[in-house]
Structure 1
Amino acid sequence: MHSPIQGTSRQDPSAAEPDAALTAELAPVVAGARRRALRDGDRQVDTAHLLHSLMESDPEVRAAFESGPRVARVLGYLVQRSIGYGLRWQGSVEDSGAVPLLGRPGWSPGALSAIEFARRRAFALRGQQVTGRDLLAALAADPRCRAVEVLRHAGVDPAALSDRLNEPSPQR
C-alpha cells in the first residue's frame, strides 16, 4: 500500500485491537462485514466485506464516488459477489502482501492491513478515530486487495478515488 502517512511521534492507544480505533459509527460497518462473511461462508472478514458494509451504511463513503451510477455499479458488483461471484475466493485467504499471514482469527491479512492503515491515517491527519473515508482510503490504496478488484470491475479507478479521499473531507 502507498501511504500519505509518514509516521508520527505521537502514541495512539487504540493500536492494540483492529477495531478498537473505529468510531461508534463504524462499529456497525465491522459488524455488517462480519455478518456478510459468515453468511457468505467465508472464514474471514476480507476487504470486499468491509467495502460492501461501508457502501451500504456510510453516506460520506458513497459521496466519495461522485455519482449515483458509480455507487450503484459498485453495490451491484458486491451483491453479485455475495451471491456467487465470490465463490472463487471462498476458502482462500486474502493476502495483499501488505502484512504477514500471521494475524487475528476471523480477519484476512488485507482487512487487518486496511484497518491499520486507516487508523494511522486518521490519527496522523486529525488525531482522531477512524471514519468511513479513512477506511475507504485504506481499501483504495492497496492495489492487490479484493476491494480494489471489486472497484476495478465496477469501473472505478482506485487511484482517482484515493486522490479524492486525500482531499479535505466535508465538515459534519
Structure 2
Amino acid sequence: MQNRTPRIPQQPAPNHRAETDAELTDELAVVVTGARRRALRDGDQQIDTAHLLHSLIESDPAVRTAFDGGPQLARVLGYLVQRSIGYGLRWQGAVEDSGAIPVVSGAPGAGVEGWSPSAASAMEEAHRRAGLRGQERAGGLDLLGALAADRQCRAVEVLERAGVDTVLLADRIGEASGLG
C-alpha cells in the first residue's frame, strides 16, 4: 500500500530504525509508525512525546484502560486533536528536551534525526522498564509509564491539561507491571 501522507520536502527522510528494532513489540512498532506519520502530517521536524502519546492511545487498548474512565480519556484526546489540527497547544519549530531522563546513545531514536530528545529518552525508559520485568520487548504500558514519569515532557503537559494526575498514572502503571 502506498503511503498517502505527503513528505514535506525540507524534512529529512524518515528513519525506520525504531519500527524494525527487535526490542519493540508489534503493538509498539505500530505506535512509533503512527507517531512518525502524525509528526510528518503536522509538519513537525521530530517525533515528540505528544505524538507518541496520541498514537499510543489510538492504537493500544491496554493503554486506554489505564485512564480513569471515558471522560478523562476523551479530554486527553481532545487536547491531542486540537494540537493536530493546529489549535490549542503549539510546539512547532521547538525542540522538545525536558532533560528529565538522560538520552542514552544506542536507544531506538536516541541520536537519530527525527526524534526529540525527550521522545528518544521515553523509548529508552520503556525498554528499561520491560527489562526490569524480565521482558525483552517494550510494550505500550511501558511507554505510557515512561511518558507519565517525565514531568517536563509535552505528553505530561497534555495529560495534566486534561486533568490526569500523571504521578498517580505512573504509579498505577508501575504497580500493575510489578515495578512499583
TM-score using structure 2 length: 0.80
In the alignment, which of 95, 98, 117 is matched to residue 96 of structure 1? 98
Whose relative contact order is higher, 1 or 2, with alpha carbons under 8 Å and at least 6 apart? 1
Structure 1: give runs of 5+ residues left out of the alignment.
1-16
8 Å contact kept, 1:18–1:115:
no
SS of corresponding position for 1:127: coil
Identity %: 66
Encode CA deviations 1:103-125: one digit per residue, 9 max, x unaligned.
21000000000000000010111
* Change beyond 3 A, Cα 1:73–1:87: closer
In the alignment, which of 39, 42, 45 is matched to residue 40 of structure 1? 42
8 Å contact kept, 2:79–2:88:
no
Offset of 1:56 from its aligned partner? 0.4
5 Å-filtered alignment, 1:88-167, equals 88-97=90-99, 98-99=101-102, 103-167=111-175
Distance in 2 of aligned mates of 1:41 and 1:163: 34
In the alignment, which of 61, 64, 74 is matched to residue 62 of structure 1? 64
Match status 1:31 vs 2:39: no
8 Å contact kept, 2:39–2:46:
yes
Structure 2: give runs of 5+ residues left out of the alignment.
1-16, 104-109
Distance in 1 of aligned mates of 2:87 and 2:134: 37
Aligned residue for 1:75? Answer: 77
RMSD of equivalent CA atoms: 1.8
TM-score using structure 1 length: 0.83
8 Å contact kept, 1:140–1:162:
yes
Across the two proteins, how many residue pairs are aligned to each other? 153
Distance in 2 of aligned mates of 1:112 and 1:146: 13
* Change beyond 3 A, Cα 1:60–1:87: closer
Offset of 1:88 from its aligned partner? 2.9
Offset of 1:83 from its aligned partner? 1.1
Distance in 2 of aligned mates of 1:137 and 1:87: 22
8 Å contact kept, 1:18–1:116:
no
Distance in 2 of aligned mates of 1:104 and 1:47: 15
Encode CA deviations 1:21-71: one digit per residue, 9 max, x unaligned.
210111111000000000000000000000000000101000000301111
Offset of 1:148 from its aligned partner? 0.2
